[in-house]
Structure formats: structure tokens, C-alpha cells
Amino acid sequence: MVMIKGGTAVRAGTRAGKRLVAMMLLAVLAGCSPALQMKLVWEDEGYHSGHPQKVLVMCDMTVPTMKRAFESEFVKFLRSKGLQAVESFRIVPEGVPNDDKARESMVAVIREQGFDSVLFTQTRTGRSETRDIPGMTIVSGFGSPYGYGGYGGVGVAATIGGPSQPTTQGYSHEQNYLTIETQLFDVRTEKRLWASQAELRLSGSPEKHITPYVAMVTDKLAKAKLFK
């Protein structure tokens, strides 16, 4: 296979050709960033009051189905660790006012039902960025496909000759991000024991990111050894 590098033909089977292919693949991988990234993890290293045993999972979400999905996913993990865990939607009716009196009543319910900790997750609008996508000229021609010959080799098809097609127009793309925070509180002292902050690149249905997010956060929680 022949590749064109700076006007010079380079065969894919040669050392230079393989090095070029590897560099191109690395460039592609470097351009692919995960939709979900952990930005911050904090832990109260001075906490020595035992391990949580009964956890209330609360998520502050405007969409009820999202709230239920988040809470149930967290509960599934906590129960797998042998803890008692309950979703807040099972004990707190929807539409409760968000004021000081309501919060005091909520704290009273939490303590009355024997919860020793609260795992709280909330979302807020994050940053946005605009990327300018340049136009490009498509050149027609012919070349060899990837992995030709049946040996699993990797190559790059060369486009040789052929007339140019019309240039595509450049455009601007706005990318929005969502900030997700999860915190673990001690009910008795009302102190924060652990916290994390992640950033989600919004694309497609938000529901598809629930399981990956919970998996990422619970992995960090497990490493903090807050649970037995």
C-alpha cells in the first residue's frame, strides 16, 4: 500500500510507513475525549466516627424519572456492599416545598427512620463552548481499504488523482456541559464526609449517562473505604 506524506510516497509495510500509521491512529485517539469526566474528589480524612450503615439516597433533579433512576442505581450499589439503602422518593412525597421549614421536617424524618448518612446528588448548568468547524474539499480517487490482504494489517488508503468536488461549508457547533455533584453527609454531625464533582458533555439522551456516572462515583467511594 502507498501513502502520500508531504508529496512523498511511503509504503505502509516499511518502518516509516508503520510509524506514520501509528502516529495517525494516536492523533485520532487523542481527539476522542470521554463524555463524562471526574473533575474533583474530596474526602474528610479526619472522620473517625465509624462507617455508614443506613443511607438515604437523595437526588435533586427536575425530571422525576431521572431522579428515580439516579437514586435506584446508587441504592443498588450500596446494597451490594451490605448497607441498608433507601431512595428518597419512597419516603418523601413529590412537590415538597424547598424552604427552611420543609428541610427541618426532612431532617426530622431522616433521624426518626434511623438513617445515619445521606448521599446527595445534584446537577447544575455547566459551561458551554463554541467550536468552529472548517470546511473541506473532497478529492475523489482510489486506494486500498483498511486491513487488506486478510492479515489484520492496518493501512491508510491513498487518494490518487481525480477531480475535486465542491468544498463543504464551515460551521459553528455549540457544546454544552452539565456539572454533577455527589456528596455524602453524616446525619448526626451534619458534616460532609465525601464529595465529588464531574462534568458531563451533553449528547443524546441524558438517561444513558446515569449508569456510567454512578459506576464512576461509586468506584471513588469504594476506594475511599468509607464503607466496610
| Span 175-227, pLDDT tens digits | 788 899 999 999 988 899 999 999 988 887 778 889 999 999 999 998 888 87
Higher-confidence residue: 55 or 18?
55
Pick the closest to residue 21 from 37, 1, 42, 39 (CA basis).
1
Stretch among 7-11, 31-35, 72-76, 190-194 having the lowest mean pLDDT? 7-11
Predicted local distance difference test score (pLDDT) of residue 17: 47
Backbone torsions φ then ψ of 108, nearest 5 degrees: -65, -40
Name the one residue in this structure whose C-alpha cell is 510507513: 17
Give the span between the Cα atoms of 97 and 101, in whole angstroms: 9
Q: What are phi and psi of 89, to 5 degrees?
A: -65, -15
Residue type (1 letter), 80: S
Domains of the chain: 2-32+136-168 (no CATH), 36-130+172-223 (3.40.50)
Which residues of 61-141 form beta strands (DSSP E)? 84-87, 117-133
Dig out the grid coordinates for 204 from the structure: 443524546
- What is residue 51's predicted lDDT score, i.e. its pLDDT? 83
**CA 179, CA 115: separation in Å to the nearest integer?**
27
- What pLDDT shows up at residue 14? 53
Residue with cell 455547566: 126
Pairing of strands 171-186, 117-133: antiparallel
Nearest C-alpha neighbor of 22 from the set 214, 189, 160, 155: 155
Average pLDDT, the chain: 75
Contact 58, 71 (CB under 8 A): yes
Would the pLDDT of 136 be above 80? no
Between 138 and 198, the higher pLDDT residue: 198
Report the C-alpha gap between 11 and 8 in whole angstroms. Answer: 10
Q: Please tell me the predicted confidence (pLDDT) of residue 86.
A: 96
Q: Where is average pLDDT lowest: 68-82, 89-103, 161-175?
A: 161-175
Q: List the single range of 1-10, 115-124, 199-208 with lowest mean pLDDT.
A: 1-10
pTM of structure: 0.66
138 versus 170: which is more confidently predicted? 170
